[in-house]
Amino acid sequence: MNKSLKKQLRVTAEQRKQRIDKVLAASVDASRTDVQRWLEQGRVTLDGQVARRRDTVAPGQLIEYEAAPSPLSSAEPDSSVEFDVLFEDDSLVVVMKPAGLVVHPARGHATGTLVNGLLARSGFGRPPADPDDEEGYLRPGIVHRLDKDTSGLMVVAKTAIARESLKRQFGERTVVRRYRALTVGVPRSARLESLHGRSRTSRLRFTTAVSDGRHAITNIKLIERLAAGSAALVECRLETGRTHQIRVHLLELAETPILADALYGSSTASEPVTAVAAELGRQALHAGVLGFEHPESSEALLFESPLPEDMAAALKALRALS
């Protein structure tokens, strides 16, 4: 450890028997994930001995540490990834993610993602990874996500300041997020509220049927009845942003699953509606409205994106069935 870069911290009585990673994270300007990385790299000592993550401390002990910057993204640029940019400045970029595009590298999708495409843009660079995200080095600037087969608007941070501001806005539920969906059946306009957690029977699915989960709220507004009451166009306004939230709420609480949803779909659709779903080939869900406060200027920004061609064609076909 470089002595010139070391900083010191004396353990207090209140910190007795706490783990060293918790004590250090609470005492310095760093996340616990950052501190754990410093420990793994041998950058932290306790009374002169290299510390381990599980070590506990006692009053009066001396912690010495050498901070290290968060790693930059390990994703590689890929200029072949296609998406539309609606807005960009030095702080952030707003994009229209097409259906079929994965947001960031993950298992099974090491390349060809939105992040790879963004890194190929001259104005994007390599923003620092999120220190509070253990895999942040794979998804620089990503503060929210859309499922692979959901299309729509996303905002991506280009700086750490923008990232933290946008994360705070999402956490405080001040971001405007409205989706359009085509459903099998006609739901009532309603505020759907539940617990939300991973299914015990399938690791790919989420469900409201949990006793210990995260709070989830979706506001459903019926826009248009379609196919003689066999389908509908609805607006979904998110108050929370859980994984697969809209898809789960429409299936389990409204009992009107999203058209052509391979994971949360329904086999009860009529034959003409099933034919429209087969032609569409992906869940009929589009993030069409996104609004937030600019991290630097505090200006209120609102972006809108019309239905993409495939969903517009499905809507037209369902109207024809009426």
Q: Catalytic residues, which ones?
A: 147
Distance CA 70, CA 86 (A): 29
Residue closest to 260 by CA, chosen among 100, 110, 136, 117: 100
Place of tokens 């400045």: 89
Contacts of 217 (CB under 8 A, 6+ apart): 191, 192, 193, 238, 239, 240
- Kindly tell me the burial class for residue 315, based on how many C-beta atoms sit within 10 Å of its own C-beta (0-12, 13-18, 19 or more): buried
Distance CA 251, CA 248 (A): 5
Distance CA 107, CA 100 (A): 16
* Cβ atoms of 217 and 192 closer than 8 Å: yes
